[in-house]
Amino acid sequence: MTHTRADYPLAETQPGAVKGKRGKSLAEITLDSLLAGDVTMEDLRITPQALQAQADVARDVGRPTLALNFERGAELVEVPQDFIMQVYELLRPGRAKSKEELLQAAATMRDTYQAERIARFIEEAAETYAARGLFTFRF
């Protein structure tokens, strides 16, 4: 389903459609369900579907860059936090030792986590860093 500006904010216009990882909708997350122990952190975590819906709305209102960021975020939901932090560190100028190191991170994103947009982003960074000499060359 493609969402439009009429669907924004999703939590208010479609509270039953916005769901956590365990499938519980926002409408089902109440103070009573929390006190009863029926709500876990997994119910509160963002899902790729929610981020894609936000991307649809952003694209509909003429914000393609924001939409792309939401789509990349959707790809990262299932990537382990420690790997995200490793890649983040590599993307800081002067931290990666070589273009190949970034390309390897991109390949892992693509092959292991099916994060195609993130992989392309890292590959673009690798090209830019190579052109600008932003790698560390420690021996």
Q: What is the pLDDT of residues 7-50, one digit of tens each?
A: 999 888 988 888 888 999 888 888 999 999 999 999 989 999 99
What gap in Å lies between CA 97 and CA 93, rounded to an integer? Answer: 10
Q: Enter the pTM of the model.
A: 0.82
CA 123 to each of CA 107, 130, 133: distance values in angstroms, whole numbers, following the listed order: 9, 11, 15
User: Where are the chain's structural domains?
Assistant: 1-76, 78-138
pLDDT tens for each residue of 69-108: 999 999 999 999 999 999 999 999 889 999 999 999 999 9
Among 77, 10, 8, smallest CA distance to 48 is for: 77
- Residues 75/48, Cβ–Cβ less than 8 Å: yes
Structure tokens at 105: 């991170």
The CATH H-level superfamily of 78-138 is Propanediol/glycerol dehydratase, small subunit (1.10.1510.20)
